[in-house]
Amino acid sequence: MRVDHEPLDLVTVVFMLTYISANCDRETWTRVLMAIKSEFGEEGKQVAHDWSATAESFKQDAFNATWKSIKAGGGVTIATLVSMAKDNGFQFAPISKEDKARFKAEEKQRKEQRKREEAEQAKQTALNQQAAKLNALEVLSRAIRCNPEHPYLIKKGVAGAPLENIYQIGLNLIIPVYQFTGEYRQIKHLYEPNQAAPLYEPWNLQQISATGFKWFLKGGRVKGGFYPVRLNDDSNEFILCEGLATGLAIAGFYERSSNVICAFNAGNLKSVALAFKRAYPAGVFTIAADNDRDTERAKGVNVGIEKAKCAAGAIDCAYNYPEFAEGEAGSDWNDRFLLDHPQGLPVPEIGRGVDVRTNGGGL
């Protein structure tokens, strides 16, 4: 967003923030913090903190974690904050030519400092991601094929789903997080002969404990990363979903022929969808969303469906989601599957081939 505004300093920002309630939704709150940090860097932390602390739900740990996670070039600028304040009645007070010149000089210095910080951050991020990639490759070299009777797979009822590329060390499942390399290999599609398929390689790992706790390697690349539950050259149909158990349920029960790709979380669906659309321009895509009803009841936003809509809109494809009765617990296609088939998928049964694209929630 680009909004014309007078040059400003932190004193003006403090005044602007009086026009914006800190008792806002998390997305708005985060955008305010991003706007402040984009302009003032660490100098703006105290101002952002004092404003945030006026919220009834303020938590110091959450503020610290969010502020730390915001990158210097996060995409939201101070213009966002100016626009929000103006929408609520804020107006810039007249200033002298001398003060205006001083503010502009300070603004120029901040921009130069931001550029230096962004360059340093980008360099450090690249180093961290490369280190995580090497760590991932080392872990995979020691890992073994996963046990289909792993407690997490049994709990999720997906022991009979495709497990070929899931690994294990101790009691932890190891799931590679792949990125496309930009290179291709020649293949012969059944549906479109003499084409090329994109190559991909692991840049990170998701690990899942026996109790279902999940984590990625520290500093590892996640955005745009995916795990192919099923990816072969004989189909140009792709179903993109969030988590591993959801993908395994879809591939093992709901859909027996389409490629099934996990994006790991709702926020990553759009990036993965765009990556696959670039890699497979002739592909036919469906986004299999989570139906986050509990989040919708608590916060008024169904994150799973909204992020799926965004991903589907980015590549002009359909999306779908599971439906649940009022008394049923669950949010994703794995939950829906277990409610309908609590016995799960016994080894080596592959499933019945019910089509996720037409079963359940509306488009």
Indicate whether 102 and 246 sit together in one domain: no
> Where is average pLDDT lowest: 38-52, 234-248, 348-362?
348-362
pLDDT in tens, 171-212: 999 999 999 998 888 776 555 555 678 889 999 999 999 999
Residue 40's domain comprises 10-115
Indicate whether 251 and 159 sit together in one domain: yes
* Residue 243 predicted with pLDDT over 50: yes
pLDDT in tens, 55-67: 999 999 999 999 9
> Where is average pLDDT lowest: 12-16, 46-50, 94-98, 138-142?
94-98
| pLDDT number for residue 141 | 94
Indicate whether 178 and 327 sit together in one domain: yes
Indicate whether 201 and 335 sit together in one domain: yes
Indicate whether 178 and 62 sit together in one domain: no
Tell me, yes or no, whether 278 lies in a domain: yes
Domain edge (last residue) among 96, 115, 134: 115
* Distant-in-sequence, close-in-space partners of 108: CB < 8 Å, separation ≥ 6: none
Task: Return the C-alpha torsion angle 95, 99, 101, 102, nearest 10.
Answer: -150
pLDDT in tens, 295-312: 888 888 999 999 999 999
Tell me, yes or no, whether 126 lies in a domain: no
Indicate whether 192 and 93 sit together in one domain: no
* Distant-in-sequence, close-in-space partners of 319: CB < 8 Å, separation ≥ 6: 286, 287, 288, 289, 305, 308, 309, 311, 312, 363
- Between residues 92 and 222, which one has the greater pLDDT? 222
pTM: 0.74
Map tokens 């962004």 to a residue: 118
In the DSSP assignment, the letter for residue 94 is P
Average pLDDT of the residues in 121-140 = 92
Tell me, yes or no, whether 96 lies in a domain: yes
Average pLDDT of the residues in 269-281 = 96
What sign does the CA torsion over 19, 22, 26, 29 have? Answer: positive
Planar angle of CA 72, 77, 82, nearest 5 degrees: 145
Q: What share of the chain in percent tops pLDDT 90?
A: 59
C-alpha 96 chain-centroid distance? 46
